[in-house]
Amino acid sequence: MRVLLTSVFGPFAQDDEYGSRAINPLELYHNQVTRGQGPFSLRMHHRSWGIMLIQANIAVPSTLLDFPTRERFVEELESHQYDVVGISGIIPNVGKVREMCRLVRRHSPTSTVVVGGHVSAIPGIERVLEADHIVKGEGIRWFREFLGEPVDAPINHPAILSSFGFRLMGLKMPRGGGDPAATIIPSVGCPMGCNFCTTSSFFGGKGRFVNFFETGRQLFDIMCETERKLRVGAFFMMDENFLLYKKRALELLELMKQHGKTWSMYVFSSANAVRKYEMRQLVELGVSWVWMGLESAEASYAKLKGADTIALTRELQSHGVRVLGSRIIGMEHLAPGNMRQAIAHAVAHDADSHQFMLYTPVPGTPLYAEMEGQGRLLEGVDLADIHGQYKFNFKHEHIERDDSKVWLDWAFQHDFDVNGPSLFRMMRTTFEGWKRYRADRDPRVRARFAGEAAKLKNGYGAALWAMEKYLWASNESVSERIGDLRRRIERELGGLSRIIDHVVGPVLLWSARWDAAAYPMGRPLEPKTFVDRRNW
């Protein structure tokens, strides 16, 4: 028995007949967070973590093909005889999944075809694809049962680098931008159950989730092993509400204290989950980055009930915790008359980064079912265009479809115009954290912030120099704030920081200007192909 697990084929950052869209590249940050920031957009790719986790938890010989070309996928089918071919994709990539099913039937006709991922949530998907099995929800247990392996065996967590191919200001950068992180997946799904959330609905909906690791001890052991294998000290906790499970988080904290771990953690969390902790607990836990929903005061979501998110953002930043805020554009209560105010409220958070996404009924979510029942879904909208970064796919009571894109684009631009590059904001928060905790009583905390300050001292300031000069003519206010931060860092951290800034800064400035002129919408980037064989 041999299994091939594969993501859909590239290229991705272009318009083609299979559903790729230039506006929807395979880059989380450049697509949804920093896309309006020109050469200062954070450019990177992420592996297909779901199929990596599945491969690590089946015993049969397997191959994982991540981001193949169409030709490379065919080559793999013809080079090896696979009993099972598992294809994972998201809804906009349904055209690619359909083509890959067809290619399996042609080049490996005896293979059983299994399709999973969010694409499986499309109503009637069974009639669209030539697949033998459609897997909806978590795939580890499904594959184990299908292969006749112990379904409830302990979960084996692979060592996963969080990102690869990092670029900034037109240049290739060190792994992880000089601060590489590993990805840890404690659970999938989210019990908060927001009606537009594909993750929550895909893994069971409101009140449900799939927990892979129940205890802090389990996470600690995995993180120690990953630290050893990948030589990292930072971890991206890929869990929609990591801090919600406080008992597990505090058990992890105690183990970190006992063993002197100075790890940094990047987490998702709701505002209310963050407020369940003392700031001291978050700092000692190593939380240095939080992705948090910042919906408007009129939005009725439990995760934000009673939360002053602007005050919370300021408090987190004052403790050195970088905040990636998330705002949904175009909710039901919004209209042209108050849309500008709603976006301005989001921008007023001055979060270190800000994700903007259109309010989008995605197949499989409660919102989609609601809109379908009301007859408000627009006809003729290609599934490849339902991703939240283009236009509405439903009839909004107050906002026209074409205008939805105008508002979305303005949100990104306004955030950049008012607050400046995310890279600058993140450095500012890091600096504030170092000032607050550089003499902390806990040697773990001191060491973590000293490590972050070292990056500011040894090169990051050159990026500030380049941003300051680049923006001087177009945005003097932001340029002055960047320059003020650079000078404070040079003064406080001393050493060679000023010399490095003035030597390396002009190189980054030239590169940023060249990249912006050559690629006004951002350089098209494609992920490289990965081939991982296990028990082969």
Q: What pLDDT score does 296 carry?
A: 61
- The answer to whether the beta carbons of residues 165 and 85 sit under 8 Å apart is no
Domain extents in the chain: 3-155, 427-518
Fold classification of 3-155 is Rossmann fold (3.40.50)
Helix (H) / strand (E) element for 168: namely: strand 164-168
| Residue 303 clears pLDDT 70, i.e. is over it | no
- The answer to whether the beta carbons of residues 478 and 420 sit under 8 Å apart is yes
Exposure letters 42-77 (e unless 16+ CB within 10 A, then b) = bbbbbbbbbbbbbbbbbeeebbbbbbbebebbbebb
Looking at residue 529, what DSSP letter applies? P
Strand runs (DSSP E) across 67-149, as ranges? 84-88, 112-116, 133-134
Q: What pLDDT score does 205 carry?
A: 80
For 159-217, how does the pLDDT look when each residue is reduced to its tens digit (9 = 90+)?
999 999 999 999 998 877 677 899 999 999 888 888 888 888 888 788 788 889 999 99
Percent of the chain with pLDDT over 90: 83
Closest CA to 350 of 292, 310, 378: 310
For 449-506, how does the pLDDT look when each residue is reduced to its tens digit (9 = 90+)?
999 998 888 778 899 999 999 999 999 999 999 999 999 999 998 777 788 888 999 9
